[in-house]
Structure 1
Amino acid sequence: MKFLKPLAVAFLLPATFSSLQAKSNFNAALSSEVRTILSQDTLAWSSPLPFDKDVKVGKLKNGFTYYIRKNTEPEKRVTMYLGVKVGSILEKEEERGLAHFLEHMNFNGLKHFPKNELVDYLQKAGVRFGSDLNAYTGFNETVYQLPIPSDDPELLKNGLQVMRDWAQDALLSSDEIDKERGIIMEEMRGGRGASQRMQEQMLPVLLNGSLYSNRLPIGTEEVVMGFKHQLIRDFHQRWYRPDLQSIIIVGDIDPQQMEKEVVRLFSDMKVVKKPAERKQFGIDLLNKNQFKVITDPEMPQTVARVLIKHPKSEVKSVGDYRTSLIKGVFNQVINARLREISQKPDAPFLQAFVSVDGVLDVFDAMTLVAVPKPNQLEASIQTVYRELKRFEQFGITESEFQRAIAMYSKSNEMAYQERDKVKSDTYVNNYLGHFLRGEAAMSIEQDYQLTKQLLPSLTLKEVEAIGNKYYAETNRDIIIMGPEKDKDKMPDEAIVNNWLGSVNKETLTAYEDQVSDLPLLSKEPVKGTIKSVKAIDAIGSKELTLSNGVKVILKPTTFKNDQILISAFSEGGHSLYDDKDYFNASNAAGIVNSSGVGQLNAVEIRKYLAGKNVGISPYISERFEGVSGSTDKEGLKTAFELIHAYFTEPRLDEDIFQGIIAKTIASMENRESEPRFVFQTAINKALYGDNIRKNNASPEQIKSISKERTLEIFKERFADASGFTFTIVGSFNEEDLKPYLEQYLASLPSSNKPEEARDLKILPPAKGVEVVVNKGKEAKAQVSLAFLGDYTYNDDENINMDALESVLSIKLLERLREDESGVYGTGASASYSKFPTGRYSFNIGFGTSLDKYQSLINSALDEINKIKKNGPTQVDLDKFIIEKTRQYELDLKENNYWLGEISGAYRLKENPTAMLKYLEKLKKVNISSVKAVAEKYLKEDKLFKFILLPEETK
């Protein structure tokens, strides 16, 4: 479903793409069709869901399927996916990992793009490898993605050729196969750790001992490193065939012309005379309960999962769709109750949720998850179980039901409001789900109309019935994972059953839905005025100064039909407070934000905002305080009321405060067992010594936080509005907005006392050091190289630093990954700041094997020295320029981009129109200018080396 998707269930498995419902123009006949369905008897629920009529769908004689649709969001772009119904589940024992290996090989030599020419060619067109050009392999499918500009006929033609080559023309040369073995081994090595080790023990239970539990897409080291070349060629020939493939093309294109090209390119694909059967695999329910305790020395916390498994359900008919809405309402209601519990000081868990949803597209389950506080596993499981028993005995209240319906209705209206602004990726994923899994592919109008008409037909009793249906006593798995040090404390199955049995004997009371009738603000603000208006014509904006000194920059746009973004800042932040107040100041905004605001506490404010598309949050960073959030036109008044309330009526409730402190301390219990935490702690220590502002907080420091002082600091930071600058970007009418500015912003208290953030002078050593940390069980190394120092902050320096980041990333991938097969991923990352003084950080990171990390460090430094000596190649520099040019074209159509640029310019005390000259600055970047910043900032004495190795290598 497109909205309010039930909470995802994390099983430590590889991520898969989620399919979103498509949005498009409606076929006029549908509305009456749906009304007819709803007016008929219950047998009409079996009517199939309608299909999006605005997508051109066809199948070639060889069985190849295509979906083509015109969409101009974004303009001059097209997104193409190749879906292949081939994944790791089809592998034989000796082929484990070959489906994924084959995905890699499709980037390492195609008929029209031999060796690594594919990536090189597309980078020259501005396509980013990894973020744009990418692929994934799952249990049941392999998917390739290629978003490219559509305004270049030659590029568009070659993009289609790439898809055709991916479909059947991988070269699979022996030398490239052998080179790729090491890369995949590094991908496999990077995933090793507590999660992977525990996953291997959990999968047989989770997947009922089915084939899925032995077919993780990454494969096995034995196969990856040892298979004969012909094996993967045979796998490719057997499965990469037109009847198992589809191309999905959505973008700013001519569908008729695109269809002709697809027919021309894909009609000659080879058809196997006796194709291997593409079996469908599932998971049989065992009709029994399972129990498993898993521990690991590096597991930082305990997690309890209870899965009550059910046969897989599908959403293909009107009735199926309606049932999915009922499930969603149940999930919303039960999890709202658990959130209320989690906010109490005596809550036994850090996090808990319940979800009725599909799992890995192979079965449905009611899943209960609890992350207990230390030594509260029993209480956590019982608390979640108790809420389900309460639900079973008493059901839900009418107010809970109506609130959940209102949330669905609002989300439905929001999606419909933006129907002509839907991104091409949304459509692509929708049609991909239709091809791969037979999922429904409705247009946004169809989806909207069906949801709008179905929601009023849902009943409270049906929500109760769906919960009771999935809350069963058989096919129940209990999986408890935790730290090795707690192994002796872990319960067995009989003990957990006794815990659950004791809840069954309790006398429960019905849930009371506490809803406040009070308004958010205790009194209506006294209206102020707009004192002056200054036009910023170059960027279509205005700067307003209010009677209390508040500045407001307005940027109306048409990029979305109903989206308004708000960001505000004032200089100061927690830099103004001494170290003894640091934890009070740095946590003040988060704690206050969790406590509700105005006259409504945390539970009441959440219910107050249900069914509203409004979110406003305060923040206090080192140098600034402010608020940020978003709303639609309908929620404008509520958004401004929230802003006014945080300035004038913040609150910090005792139970919320104690709950946050207890939860934070509990989350620290086993963090020293986690290698990445220990590694980062060592890095912080090396760079900043014992400075409390740059190191992880200790339990004692968290306990020292004072409720009274925290609230006092928050009020101090928001006591004087005169220093605040608000930036508002989006689909608003200036005249409609002005009354809210006068009523809620111009009325904020102000004393007109200017403040500046304090320079804390917390800097790393002037010269680099090397730090080696030994932590962890896996035989792998993690390397982080950082150049740190003073920086000359200006536009020219910044854009050349960005160019250096890009060209060096290209070279690191080419050498460390492709040439030396030593890493799966690597790259450079540059950051720089203007205040309090100019500083930069230039980082390189990668994971690798123990025998290669030193040589790869040397190779990375060698590539740096080449750029320092000779500058980048013009080819690599051109890739950077075209990528940034293409990205800038897209950015100019995004509200978030404008919000960031305008607000950022005011923070940096710069001209907000300077961003319009970005392309001019980009054209000035050259080999000499990039070489100069490399020489200036990538100096050997500024290099910090941080290396994480396993414990046995001490």
Structure 2
Amino acid sequence: MKLNYKISVAALALLVASGGAFAQVKRKPVPSPKNKPGTLEQKHLVNPNAGALPVDPDVIIGKLPNGLTYYVRKNTEPKNRAELYLVNKVGSVLETDDQQGLAHFTEHMAFNGTRDFPKNDMVSFLQKSGIKFGADLNAYTSFDETVYQLPLPTDSVAVFEKGFNILANWASYVTFDPKEIDAERGVVLGEKLANGKNAQERLSNQTYPVLLNNSRYAQRIPIGKEEILKTFKPETIKSFYHDWYRPDLQAVIAVGDFDPARVVELIKRNFSSLQNPANEKPRTVYSVPPTAGTVVKIATDKEFPYTLAEIIVKHPQAIVKTVADFMQGIRVQLFNQMLNDRISELTQKPTPPFVYGQSSYAPFIGRLDAFTTIAVAKPGGLETAIKAAVAETERVRRFGFTLTELERAKQSALIGIDNAYRERDKTRSVNFVGEYQQNFITGDAIPGLSYSYNFYVNNINKISLEQMNSLAGKFVSDQNRVIIIEAPENEKDKLPNEKTILEWIGSAGKNITPYVDNTTDKPLLAKLPTPGKISDTKVDSLIGTTTLTLSNGLKVILKPTKFKNDQVLINGYSFGGTSLVSDDDYTSAELAGGIIGSSGIADFTQIQLNKLLSGKNVSVSPYISNIAEGITAGTTPKDFETAMQLIYLYFTQPRKDNDVWQANISQTNALLANRGLNPGSVFQDTVTATLNNHNFREMVVTPERLNKATLDKAYSFYKERFADASSFVFTFVGNFDVEVLKPYIEAYLGSLPSTNSKTTYKNLNIYPPAGQITKTVNKGIGEKASVQLVFNGAYEYNAANNIQIDALEEILQIRLLDRLREKDGGTYAPGVRANYKKIPNSRYSFTVSFECAPADVDKLTSDALDEVNKLKQTGALQADIDKFVAEEARSTQVQLKENVFWAGYLGAASQNDDNPDEILRHVSSLSDITPQSTKDAANKYLNGNNLIKFILLPEKK
């Protein structure tokens, strides 16, 4: 199961951005399918200082007599599906000293035996119903909450109604069989090993007490203590479950394609009998006490590959309950965007002051929010990085933002809420769950999308520049501030002391000047091109596509859909790529797509282009891979022409920017400098080198090769690859009318230059060496091992073989989870990944991977290969085949209603010269999977003739 608790330096940035570990981020408003703009009482909209926010009328909220809360909402996307969640205000902060780790262990035991589902029966039942363990069925434990997630089909009444029984079993009827507890100890210890025994864990152990001020949070990391996990008695975990898994601390969230009244009835039937314990313990609400002044912590580790600084200023948590709170939340959103746009501009300087920088105000942990500034330094550049990042916040504090910046940020915010509103009837059910979860856990209001949309539209322009400019002064402070420096141990002697760090921060804004907003009002495309013509049209009525051939030879595949109201996905490719360049020019060519795509277009720098496109829903990026070049784009019907103009310009007027080139080279060199310190990177580099027969094109770039690359070569190669449109194939998927798009296609794609060169990729024959090979890497100080077993070989690419490989992948995954995780208890998440491809040469690979204690490598490797041999001898169990078939059929039903699936599928079918209609036979072809077919596939693809074993072990002592 997932553990949401990492705080680290880099993790803190992710945490603040994604809401995983300490506190869920206040999510953006999500669609409500019924309400429309203008239906709300205007008094809620015109007065941003009014009282409490309303509750979304589309969600039914209730409370049973025993205190259990429920949230029920009907939502039809995806059809015949529902999301059921059990949310518990129960986390690791509630553990006693002898229970450390048992909140998380309890979550594991919920899948290992309950009153109505002995042992592993629950997981097996759900897999047979098409629910995939891990990907769909899952749970997580944090400091303050434990959440179980159960996505279910609603077109099977029996399965759907059984889901509420499953939630009730989790809530109150976990059995805690002592044998199951002992069997699960190894799994939980495996999870602790998988997420720890590394630089980040060791650094966290140094920084958490300072960052969290020795609070309860610093002492209750959810994974717990190894000695307790190994030795706790069943009575101890039962006591935790008895005290805290109780209806007054629980909520059931149900969102999906169902009858809400029936769901409320099911909740009452399954949960009304749950009882709170007599003399129940009070649920203490813990916090992180404030720190007087500023505390600095410098931490190093032998294996940490970066030097970075993090400045955290902690503030009281803001719960959004009133209109004024909502208004302030919008201001914070605008503030974060404007500040980070400025920081992003710094990375485009010829010598960027840092590799990565970020600054934002967001939820933190322990009833706190935080204003956090992060800077990842280049080697030897910590002072420059810190001063540059701090200077930007100081620039805002002293001089404020400009009016043009604010207007762009407002436009961006309005686009975000407008996008959500336009898709209000196409919003996936899971998007609502987090909002209701936050309402239960923290009390954040849930006004719903219609209210939020109207509020934004009517009130965002009441936010003044003066209000925005006052925020930095509130966020930036030298009180309740923690400064953390993390670095490689080999740089310990070069690191500054606490006094020096404070001096750097204090002097960072000494010579700053006001920000100058460099904008332009020139049109994106001054002169429209001369259109081409459509020379041929073919319609595939089975899958609803139209294929156009243009006068310049370019082909366009169009699939109009109603899956999203306001989305058009565009992808274009042509064969060739870096396979066509010499070894000497390869590195320049490899960088070409990313560099040119980040350099702006025509006469616009990237910064100017970003500003010019603010207020538009459009994203266009060129790319060059080893066998192809192309364009990926996403837009809306409204901004479709802008996207087409950008595509045209990336073909005809790419821009060469030496500043961007130098910045990229500088940052990449910085990332490479200490890469060898990280055991995982060293191991993966060995894997990559071996699997590609040590061909440098597929390996991590070296500083020597990087520094020999030139912008002139990169630019020339880019122009060469986009000079001939005749070999390009574009796919368009989304909400459009084919006839409406035709003039734009003729104008912007039909006008592209064409030489009819008929160029294609060159097969460089880069693939793994044959035979049985073992590669052992000794790197790292933690007692942790990683294993990858790679079966590979030549392949006959076709739909029949592909589906057999897909089945074999999932069946082997099921078998290894049962053997290595459940029976052996030696690893947390053994994985199986199958790949097959047709171009540039037809190959397949199966990779079995797991992490474990070094002492368990031989046994787990042997057991994994034993499961492979069983498949070769007898084939798969019919029960495992049934699980795969159910999961694949369910997932296919969902995918066929997604634009992103069709965009990828149609492009792949074109590249592989497949019949795209095959997808319509996919579900019926699942009947071809039998015990005999899986036996044949195992003997063919897992025969062991070409097997490469990769093993990462700690350094020899």
Q: Same fold (TM over 0.5)?
A: yes
Whether the 8 Å contact between 1:30 and 1:446 is mirrored in structure 2 is: no
Asked whether the equivalents of residues 522 and 598 of structure 1 are also in contact (C-alpha less than 8 Å), the reply is no
Q: Could you say which residue in structure 2 is the equivalent of 1:76?
A: 80
Count of aligned pairs between the two proteins: 944
Instruction: Give the secondary structure class of the aligned counterpart of 2:772.
Output: coil
Q: In the aligned structure 1, how far is the partner of 2:649 from the partner of 2:46?
A: 47
- Cα deviations by residue, 1:601-645 (Å, 9 ceiling, x for unpaired): 111011111121100101111111110110011111110011001
Q: Which residue, 766, 780, 792 being the options, matches 2:770?
A: 766
Paired-residue identity, %: 42
Q: Specify the alignment match of 2:110 in structure 1.
A: 106
TM-aligned CA deviation for residue 25 of structure 1? 4.2
Contact kept? 2:521, 2:612, Cα under 8 Å? no
- Shift in Å at residue 273 of structure 1? 2.2
Give ranges in structure 1 of 5+ residues lacking alignment. none
Quote how far apart the aligned CAs of 1:403 are: 0.6
Establish whether residue 23 from structure 1 lines up as the match of residue 31 from structure 2.
yes
Alignment of 1:529-548 (within 5 A): 529-548=533-552
- 1:74/1:336 Cα in 2 relative to 1: closer, same or farther (>3 Å)? same
CA distance in structure 2 between the partners assigned to 1:50 and 1:657 by the alignment: 51
Partner of 2:905: 901
Match of 2:937 in 1: 933
Question: In 1, Cα distance between the equivalents of 2:661 and 2:43?
Answer: 54
| Matching of residue 656 in structure 1 with residue 660 in structure 2 | yes
Aligned to 1:360: 365
In structure 1, C-alpha distance between the alignment counterparts of 2:450 and 2:727, rounded to whole Å: 46
State how far apart, in whole Å, the 1-side matches of 2:394 and 2:810 are: 56
- Distance (whole Å) between structure 2 residues aligned to residue 197 and residue 626 of structure 1: 43
Report the secondary structure of 1:231's partner residue: helix
Q: Which residue of 2 aligns with 1:338?
A: 343
Structure 2 Cα separation of the partners of residues 30 and 644 of structure 1:
39
Report what 2:708 is aligned to: 704
Cα distance between partner residues in 2 of 1:622 and 1:792: 22
- Contact residue 571 and residue 723 of structure 1 kept, 8 A: yes
Q: Larger deviation: 353-362 or 794-803?
A: 353-362
Question: Following superposition of structure 1 onto structure 2, how do residues 378-397 of structure 1 map, counting pairs within 5 Å?
Answer: 378-397=383-402
Structure 1 distance, partners of 2:876, 2:13, is 48
Match of 1:266 among 235, 260, 271: 271
**TM-aligned CA distance change 1:462 to 1:469, over 3 Å:** same
Pair 24,688 (structure 1): closer, same or farther in 2 beyond 3 Å: closer
Is contact 2:18-2:25 (8 Å) kept?
Answer: no
Q: What is the CA-CA distance between 1:468 and the residue it aligns to?
A: 1.4
Question: Is 1:494 aligned to 2:502, yes or no?
Answer: no
How much does 1:892 deviate? 0.8
- Give the corresponding residue for 1:743: 747
Structure 2 residue aligned with 1:675? 679
Match of 1:553 in 2: 557
Against the structure 1 CA distance between its residues 32 and 808, is the aligned structure 2 distance closer, same or farther, given a 3 Å change threshold? Answer: closer
Report the Cα distance in structure 1 between the residues aligned to 2:661 and 2:382, rounded to whole angstroms. Answer: 23
TM-score in terms of structure 2 length: 0.97
Name the structure 2 match of 1:776. 780
In structure 2, the gaps of 5 or more residues are 1-11
After TM superposition, give the deviation of residue 893 of structure 1 in Å: 0.5
Take 2:586 and 2:19, find their aligned partners in 1: how far apart are those partners? 36
Matched, 1:441 2:446: yes
The equivalent of 1:581 in structure 2 is 585
**Residue of structure 2 aligned with 1:838, choices 827, 834, 842:** 842
Name which of 935, 946, 949 aligns with 2:950: 946
Aligned mate of 1:187, from 181, 191, 203? 191
The two structures have a TM-score, normalised by structure 1, of 0.97
Residue of 758, 774, 777 corresponding to 1:754: 758
User: What is the Cα deviation at residue 952 of structure 1?
Assistant: 2.5
Partner of 1:798: 802
Aligned with 2:855: secondary structure?
Answer: coil
Match of 2:524, SS state, is coil
Would the aligned equivalents of 1:26 and 1:446 in 2 still touch at CA under 8 Å?
no
Name the residue aligned to 1:154.
158
For the residues of structure 2 that align with 1:6 and 1:787, how far apart are their CA atoms? 38
Describe the SS at the equivalent of 1:113.
coil
Q: Aligned residue for 2:8?
A: none
Task: Tell me which amino acid in the other structure corresponds to 2:31.
Answer: K
Deviation string, structure 1 residues 80-114 (Cα, Å, up to 9, x no partner): 00011110000111110110000000000011110
**SS of equivalent to 2:639:** helix
Residue 277 (structure 1) aligned to one of 279, 282, 289: 282
| Equivalent of residue 624 in structure 2, options 604, 620, 624 | 620
> How far does residue 13 in structure 1 lie from its aligned partner after superposition?
8.2
Distance 1:10 1:540 in 2: 39
Aligned to 2:723: 719
Q: Do the aligned residues in 1 keep the contact of 2:22 with 2:364 (CA within 8 Å)?
A: no
Equivalent residue for 1:88, pick from 89, 92, 113: 92
Shift of 1:688: 3.5
Amino acid at match of 1:563: Q
**Amino acid of the structure 2 residue aligned with 1:366:** F
Question: How far apart, CA to CA, are the structure 2 residues paired with 1:891 and 1:542?
Answer: 20
| Structure 1 residue corresponding to 2:246, chosen from 241, 247, 263 | 241
Give per-residue Cα distances to partners, 1:888-919, cap 9 Å, x unaligned.
11011000111111111110012221211112
Matches of 1:532 and 1:267, distance apart in 2: 65
Per-residue deviation at 1:228? 1.1
1:55 and 2:59 equivalent? yes
Aligned to 2:853: 849
Which amino acid counterpart does residue 130 of structure 2 have in structure 1?
G
| 1:693 aligned onto 2:697 | yes
Residues 678-732 of structure 1: per-residue CA shift (max 9 Å, x gap): 1012223333344211221110111111111100000010000000000000001
Q: Give the drift of 1:810.
A: 0.4
Q: Match of 2:836, SS?
A: strand
Q: Distance in 2 between matches of 1:260 and 1:478?
A: 52
Q: What is the DSSP-based 3-state SS (H/G/I as helix, E as strand, rest coil) of the residue aligned with 1:852?
A: helix
Displacement of 1:39 in angstroms is 4.3
Please name the residue that 1:9 is paired with: 16
Contact 2:811 2:881 in 1 (8 A): yes
In 1, Cα distance between the equivalents of 2:597 and 2:609?
11
Q: CA separation of 1:900/1:29 partners in 2, compared to 1, >3 Å: closer, same or farther?
A: closer
Match for residue 455 of structure 1 among 436, 455, 460: 460
Distance 1:688 1:8 in 2: 35
Distance 2:108 2:792 in 1: 35
CA contact 1:526–1:747 (8 Å) conserved in 2: yes
1:158-237 equivalence runs, <5 A? 158-192=162-196, 193-237=198-242
Shift of 1:22: 4.0
Alignment CA distance shift 1:14-1:782 (3 Å): farther
Deviation at 1:836, TM superposition (A): 2.5
Q: Return the alpha-carbon distance in structure 2 between the equivalents of residues 558 and 26 of structure 1.
A: 18
Q: Which residue number corresponds to residue 301 of structure 2?
A: 296
Q: State the 1:31 CA deviation.
A: 4.9
Query: Structure 1 residues 693, 220: closer, same or farther in 2, change over 3 A?
Result: same
CA distance in 2, matches of 1:225, 1:477: 35
- For 1:264 and 1:157, locate their aligned partners in 2 and report how far apart those are by CA, in whole Å: 11
Q: Call closer, same or farther: CA 1:288–1:323 in 2, change over 3 Å.
A: same
Q: Is the 1:518–1:600 Cα contact (8 Å) retained in structure 2? A: no
Letter in 2 for 1:740: Y
For the residue of structure 1 that corresponds to 2:76, the secondary structure is coil
SS for the counterpart of 2:16 is coil
Question: Which of 317, 326, 329 does residue 331 from structure 2 map onto?
Answer: 326
1:952 counterpart SS class: coil
Contact 1:808–1:827 under 8 Å retained in 2: no
The alignment partner of 1:914 has SS state of helix
Deviates further, 298-307 or 390-399: 390-399
Work out the CA distance in 2 between the residues paired with 1:15 and 1:555: 43
**RMSD (CA atoms):** 1.7
Counterpart Cα distance in 2 of 1:623 and 1:53: 52
Describe the shift of the 1:263–1:13 C-alpha distance in structure 2 as closer, same or farther (beyond 3 A). closer
- Measured after TM superposition, the shift of residue 789 of structure 1 is 1.0
Q: Deviations over 1:388-443 (max 9, x none)?
A: 22222221111111010110011111111000111110112211111111111122
Show the counterpart of 2:124.
120
For residues 149 and 694 of structure 2, what CA distance do their matches in structure 1 show?
Answer: 47
Indicate the residue corresponding to 2:487 in structure 1: 482
Partner SS state of residue 319, structure 1: helix
Which of the residues 85, 93, 97 maps onto 2:101?
A: 97
**Counterpart residue identity of residue 308, structure 1:** V
Match of 2:476 among 465, 471, 496: 471
